[in-house]
Structure 1
Amino acid sequence: MSSLDVASARHLVANNPDTLVVDVRTPAEFGTAHIPGAVNLPVDQVDTHLRRIVADAGGRMILVCQGGSRAERCQRVLAAAGLADTTVLEGGMNAWAASGAPITRGVPRWSLERQVRLAAGGIVLLSVVVSLWWPPARFLAGLVGAGLALAAVTDTCVMGLLLAKLPYNRRGGTDIERSLARLSRRG
C-alpha cells in the first residue's frame, strides 16, 4: 500500500494534471473543509460503485480522510478490485491543515471522530448514572468500552459507520454521479 506525506502530495497535484484527490469522508465533513479541487466519494459509497470506479479511473488518485484510516480501508478495497494506482495522504486532512496547505472551507460541522467520542461518552455516562438505580445498566458501559477496544484493534468503527448514515452527516450530500464523472474525465 502506498502513502504520501503532505509535501509530496502537494507536489504531485501541482505537477501531474492526471492526479485526482478523492476525499472519502462524509459529505458533511467534506463540506466543512476539503482540499481544493478534491472530489467527494464517501467510503460507504465505494462498494456500491466499485466496478465503475475501477473501470473509469485514469491516472493517480490520492485518497484522503480525516486521519488516514478510512482512506487506507478504501485503498485496500480498490487494490483488491484491481485499481493499484492509489495512494493515501499520510495523516489525512489533519496533517494537510497542520502543514498550512490550502483548504476550501464551508459550513463548520463536527467530524465523525468527534461525534463518536460524544456518542460513546454519552452512552457510558448515562449507563453509569442509570446503574445507580438499575445495576445491570453498567453492562452497557462495558459493551461500549469493548466496542471501542475492538474498533482500535481492527481499525474499524461500527458506531462511526452508523453515525455516518445520519441525516446530519448526509446534509449537503455528495452528487455521486458528478464525483464518478470526475474520475472518467481524467487521463
Structure 2
Amino acid sequence: MKEKDILPHTIEVIRPLDPKVLARAMQKCRRFGPKTSTYWLGYVVSLLLGGMVCAGGIVLAFIVLRLAGASPHQQGVWGPFLGTVLAIAVLYSVRILRRRDMAEQFMSTPILRTLQRFDLSTNGLELASQLGLSRFDWSAVDRVLEDQSYLFCFLGPSVIVIPTGTLSTDQRAMLLKDIALWRKQEGTA
C-alpha cells in the first residue's frame, strides 16, 4: 500500500474520559527506572511497609480467632495464613485506590473536560481541543496498545487514551494496521 493511499483517521470525543479507563492505562504504562539509589530506597521502604501491614494483619487475625474461641493450635495454624491474606488484600486495594485517585486528579485537567479531536496520520498523533493543540511524531510513541474500546498510545511514562468505541471492528483493525505502518516508517515499531 502506498503512503498516498493511506487516509488519516479522525476521532472526536464529546464526553470526558472515564477515570477507571485512565487508571487502567496507567497500570499498563511502563515504568522508567529512577536512579539506582532511589530505586533501592523505595524498594526497601515498600518491603518495610508490607512487613508492617502483614504483621498487623497477623495480629488482627490472632485476636479475631481468639475472640471466636479457636484453640491455640488453630490460632497458630490459621493466624499467620489469614493475617497474610488480609495484608495482601489491603495492600492490593490501596494500590488500586491510589491509581484511581491519581487518574481522577489527572482528569481535573481542563483540556480533558472539553471536546477533543484526535487526528492520526502519517505525520503523527495530533490532539486538538478548544484550549490547545499537541502533536507527536510516531517516533515519540513507545508503544500502542488496544484495550477494549480504547487505544493507549504510550509516550515514555505518559499515555494518551483514544476512544475507539465508535469505530467498527474493521475500522479499528485498519487504524491499528496504519499506525503500525507509520511507526515502522519512522523506525519505532
TM-score under structure 1 length normalisation: 0.28
Relative contact order: is structure 1 or structure 2 higher (C-alpha 8 Å, sep ≥ 6)? Answer: 1
Report the structure, 1 or 2, having the larger strand content.
2
TM-score under structure 2 length normalisation: 0.28
Higher Rg: 2
